[in-house]
Structure 1
């Protein structure tokens, strides 16, 4: 009798590994490397794993696909190769314990081998010409704290970066989606360089590292992430500089700063003799071994930026850029400066792997998405154009009633206590939106909706910190413009609202990233779009390499935290320095026009909900229907089979579970009813209509048919009839969602009938369940 797969592993494969010097500490069995895509109801999609992961010297070297003794060892080879590509592993072995097939991903070729290679042999094949410095860096372990270990893509990002540094690269770029832990990756890189005592000069010592950000909130988050190295770290900010009499700190190994602070002049006078005009110049050019540039797309690649001046000063250091969205335009090409990323991990991958939260899109249109000139509407200013489009709203034209309509609609589209960020055109628009939301809100708390912009200073940062606290409900809604596009590590954001047109793919990706962080009970987040910004999902650059020619994302100053003298435009534009398509600022344009729409009722005219497929692009309604119709025949071939599945609560749940695995959940199915104007019908009828073009019946019609056929009357006991009538009424009112196999006990309680009397009336508990199931079969008869 042939061994099972489990026996094959234990009795055939494990001994062969042992004979090739693979110790237990080098072997990870059933290595799960994804969490499974998040589905509705707290469920997860399929998790990916490999049978064996072989590691040596803190390096993942190979995976093994194991088959039962009597199976063809090549059966799972292609899947294993796909997994190896994802894990960036060079060698795959497929075996049934007797025969071993080796596939080399570097050459793309494979062959049968007699035995597994030893750990040292595989390590040398991966690194055929390794230097002592590189070997020392690679062999350093990760820092583990509690149960927290690097995810597979974080490990790859760290390894690829360390290999590049060890190979002598001057500039390294990592591109990972927002919410995937770039700062944690940076910490692991620095930790392993510390342990290896690597320095740029080759001296055996811990390196000096500068972590650069452009906002205090980002620098503070990074500082906290590096807490395990608390004795090695220091902030370079106004407080520290003042404490040292105007001198920068030098007694640490990891320095955290925002560009604005260290680019500040020590005085208003330029000191030609010493040429010391900024705090960073107090550090010798060779002081730092590594500079980590957070959100490096925001200006470090700009030839004219103050950020670039800092990097040029420390040109001898390795420059490591971290970004979710590399920028490629005439004024700041991230790739031109850093080169191609050594590793990329996209939003789509993060969602499908289950490390980021999926989203759905609600595109909302109103009857005032453009304005046609009417002289009676003008309250203030002069309108130069006959038709004003959304692009000009709030920048050139203010329509308070539209702001109120949008605010009211936002509140109608969200659950009252769902944390929500509303992105506005500018700071004035953000306060107008806050006031409009206050007008229509049902929650009385004064801090329910707050504005968080640069002008709010310390108050705004306090509100942001409270918003990020997942144990607090208030504040619930933040209105902002540019400030919250990055640096908001708020895991429980349920809604991202777009009320400002977005032309930059870079900025769009950053904004969408505000909702992607995973949180318990958060199955998805919703993008509510009033301006058509989500059309960018269909751009070729979405979830790929940005190709568009765009202006730099506006960056605002981080006021109030560091009282070092405020810089004179060290980078970008301020949050409110709106520019039009020709680059003319508000200051050079005429005053804004205020319009009061008269004699016309403003209203929402369309709300389209779209869902996102595995490619990361929202499906249009007809595409979603085509997709659904295309997969339904995988689960049933005719109406009789669908009826059999749906009318049995257990089989119905199994069908719904299979649909969830295809990214189709009950929320989507419920919203399908609105498409067919069938809100009073059952999901079953919508599915039957889609698959077999059958007429859609209402729940009332189905309940009437049960009475018409006198199904319940066949039971003579009045308690039985009373209970079944109660169930039928619940179905007619609430639908099949409340008639699951696990709902029977609660339904008995809700009916008000005595359980023991009901048990006696049905002549046993099993018959109650059979009566409950039987009624459902009759409903769909």
Structure 2
């Protein structure tokens, strides 16, 4: 019974419990299957500053109503009764957009504001609590709005697979699944899904196939990929629930006894007629084909693999990609049509499902300014080096300089030594030869680590069985070794390296598709192993592609620097923490080179990485040493070249996607100016807060992590003083100076002797470690407080109770933060 309750005194939770839930349950919504409370739709963006990271806090939808677990229908957002009925509407509309539902309700317990997207002539109306629509009413309106026909419903309403662990599709996965199932039910036969690397494309594909298969809308399904690792990971992990209904096609035999078939293109076709295993079955055998990583040319007209899709042209075909390929020569959109659903890297980072990244850019003089051999100079093999200027596009492609390889390896080593020597690292090299030389250089520079385990550094390329055998260990978070993997093409896609913290680019990358795939090796988050963000160490200016309008994920931090900065503690601290603010001259201007004229070719394709028998047209190149058969380019090996570095600057991408030079202090000024109009506003907010930690948490959500700021501004300052100094140019007081000022005022005398002793000790704690120390009662359990008495004894005998203790803490903080200027020197 709710009669006689004073609603104005009820919390938001009380409103939901006493008014909202009873109202919707009364009209037939099932509490077990159709009502979910506190539905968290986002994880909270990770903010990176220096070597520190914090997640932004995110709110949950109060209530989501479902027709079935796979089909959300409505969002309800409740507020305390002191607010207007429609107070939560905008928040609820945001949730509704993520869930792609048309029905939105806001309430304060008196009634509902009903936002109905199916009724465009009157979007919002006010209804009574007792008039909340029934499940049948909303489902009927939803079906009409969607245009569902009755024959679609058995397929559309089929539940997704529930593994019993509580895992369910994220909001964007559910959108992709539902849109695809609905489209296929309606007869659409070519579908493209674009989802950023690390957002669960394969899991999404599994749920699509599961629902269509369980509904018997599709009976024989083919999952196609072009790399063994993609097929095996899919079979063992996401597709495991298919169990005995599933098989991997091997030995060029298609077994009709199975319903779910996983296959490499190379197992189904080849240049010879007898290799075309797909012709063993009728063209109507498969009624659904899912093509993983379809950007790599499977849908291209001149692809050797397009014939498979054309042979089974009557089947519904779904293309999955993180990077839809659009060039004059290749278009998977032309084949599949415009993407049915897109979830970008930028969206994934904003939602907190993908890891943000910092960029350290390293410019080497021979790359930027070029290198020319002396007249008649021969290389290490006695070959006459062609007389011309070699620059960045040539390095490790047509010209190998031993000293450059050593410099890159030393820079990587120094970075890992100063951050985390056991951080999983992928070094992308130009070809297999380059990967081997880089492996050797890193082994020599990390001899102590290699002595502990000779798999500390491994070359993982398609030609090396020992390296390939270690790939599973590299991507397994529980396996510490290998730590550093040098590669060329094998690990660009399909490698689910959740704990990869460092991606090194020493490969010329011109293709946006390939660049996104490589960046995707680090974008997965694995909080259990401390992986919230990653670093890109770029030696080939590949990260200039971030400025391309086709790239949608802004890095947290970009900095151009010099390898020698990794050699000193001070220099490397600046690189790691992002505290330098040196905007040196443009290296291209110094060298009188137009940066727009430097074109970096895409590295030759590693044909051994597919574990199959077929070479794609235009991708066969000999990677084993002196010659690149594709372009007949000679590779020269030289040594004795003096290699040095150029330029040093820290750069961030602003909200417009432009590079700006900015330090933490600059960022803090800009961010705080948006929050507070003046110093007085900030002081009032700080002094009125019951707990200062709340403000520090709010700052962290905006990317102002005060520990990182302390590294730049100086040790010993309170966060309050750092903000006053950095943002408002106030002279700072150290914590010890503030503590001394409080003691000089001698305000403790109004307290009992025990209380004075406790407050004096708390003030010392503040001076040593900061305000967080005195805001937790747990501090009373440690020395020197435990010598005074137990926590309960201190609070009761010293202060008279918990309310009086809290009041004393508030007074202590008020004394600490009195705006007393420091004495002039």
Same fold per superposition (TM over 0.5): yes
Asked if 1:50 corresponds to 2:81, the answer is: no
Indicate if the aligned counterparts of 1:65 and 1:76 stay in contact, CA closer than 8 A. yes
Indicate if the aligned counterparts of 2:607 and 2:621 stay in contact, CA closer than 8 A. yes
Number of the residue aligned with 2:149:
131
Asked if 1:556 corresponds to 2:574, the answer is: no
Question: 1:297-336 residue pairs with structure 2 within 5 A?
Answer: 297-336=295-334
In the alignment, which of 234, 246, 252 is matched to residue 233 of structure 1? 246
Indicate if the aligned counterparts of 1:360 and 1:609 stay in contact, CA closer than 8 A. no
Asked if 1:438 corresponds to 2:443, the answer is: yes
Quote the offset at 1:551 in angstroms. Answer: 8.9
Quote the offset at 1:388 in angstroms. Answer: 3.0
Number of the residue aligned with 2:568:
none
Indicate if the aligned counterparts of 2:41 and 2:170 stay in contact, CA closer than 8 A. yes
Structure 2: segments with no counterpart, 5+ residues: 1-5, 555-598, 800-804
CA distance in 1, matches of 2:72, 2:742: 67
Asked if 1:250 corresponds to 2:269, the answer is: no
1:336-355 CA-partner distances (Å, limit 9, x unpaired): 11111111111122222222
CA distance in 2, matches of 1:8, 1:649: 27
Quote the offset at 1:101 in angstroms. Answer: 2.6
CA distance in 1, matches of 2:351, 2:43: 6
In the alignment, which of 348, 353, 357 is matched to residue 350 of structure 1? 348
In the alignment, which of 413, 422, 425 is matched to residue 415 of structure 2? 413
CA distance in 1, matches of 2:414, 2:227: 34
Quote the offset at 1:366 in angstroms. Answer: 3.6
In the alignment, which of 49, 61, 68 is matched to residue 73 of structure 2? 61
Number of the residue aligned with 1:518:
525
CA distance in 2, matches of 1:573, 1:737: 61
Number of the residue aligned with 2:292:
294
Quote the offset at 1:694 in angstroms. Answer: 4.7
Q: Alignment partner of 1:163: what SS? A: helix
In the alignment, which of 780, 787, 797 is matched to residue 756 of structure 1? 787
CA change 1:13–1:502 in 2 (3 A) is same
Number of the residue aligned with 1:590:
634
Asked if 1:211 corresponds to 2:257, the answer is: no
Which deviates further from its counterpart, 97-106 or 705-714? 705-714
In the alignment, which of 645, 648, 658 is matched to residue 606 of structure 1? 648
Indicate if the aligned counterparts of 1:157 and 1:185 stay in contact, CA closer than 8 A. yes
CA change 1:729–1:196 in 2 (3 A) is closer
Number of the residue aligned with 2:668:
628
Number of the residue aligned with 1:203:
none
Indicate if the aligned counterparts of 1:645 and 1:651 stay in contact, CA closer than 8 A. no
Quote the offset at 1:686 in angstroms. Answer: 5.6
CA change 1:646–1:70 in 2 (3 A) is closer
Number of the residue aligned with 1:187:
206
Indicate if the aligned counterparts of 1:216 and 1:561 stay in contact, CA closer than 8 A. yes
Q: Alignment partner of 1:437: what SS? A: helix
In the alignment, which of 470, 479, 482 is matched to residue 475 of structure 1? 482
In the alignment, which of 623, 646, 654 is matched to residue 694 of structure 2? 654
Number of the residue aligned with 2:403:
401
Asked if 1:176 corresponds to 2:226, the answer is: no
Quote the offset at 1:251 in angstroms. Answer: 1.5
In the alignment, which of 542, 553, 573 is matched to residue 619 of structure 2? 573
Q: Alignment partner of 2:502: what SS? A: strand
Q: Alignment partner of 1:392: what SS? A: coil
CA distance in 2, matches of 1:111, 1:705: 55
Number of the residue aligned with 2:504:
497
CA change 1:528–1:695 in 2 (3 A) is farther
Which deviates further from its counterpart, 212-221 or 341-350? 341-350
Indicate if the aligned counterparts of 2:502 and 2:534 stay in contact, CA closer than 8 A. yes
Indicate if the aligned counterparts of 1:506 and 1:553 stay in contact, CA closer than 8 A. no
CA change 1:387–1:455 in 2 (3 A) is same
CA distance in 1, matches of 2:605, 2:696: 45
Quote the offset at 1:188 in angstroms. Answer: 0.9
CA change 1:139–1:560 in 2 (3 A) is closer
How many residues are aligned here?
727
CA change 1:551–1:588 in 2 (3 A) is closer
1:572-610 CA-partner distances (Å, limit 9, x unpaired): 5147669xxxxx966522333525314x6x357536364
In the alignment, which of 119, 134, 152 is matched to residue 135 of structure 2? 119
1:636-675 CA-partner distances (Å, limit 9, x unpaired): 67668878999999955433311211133346425644xx
1:606-637 CA-partner distances (Å, limit 9, x unpaired): 36364x77x69586333865542122246667
CA change 1:560–1:589 in 2 (3 A) is closer
Q: Alignment partner of 2:334: what SS? A: helix
Quote the offset at 1:112 in angstroms. Answer: 1.5
Number of the residue aligned with 1:110:
123
Indicate if the aligned counterparts of 1:90 and 1:106 stay in contact, CA closer than 8 A. no
Number of the residue aligned with 1:692:
728
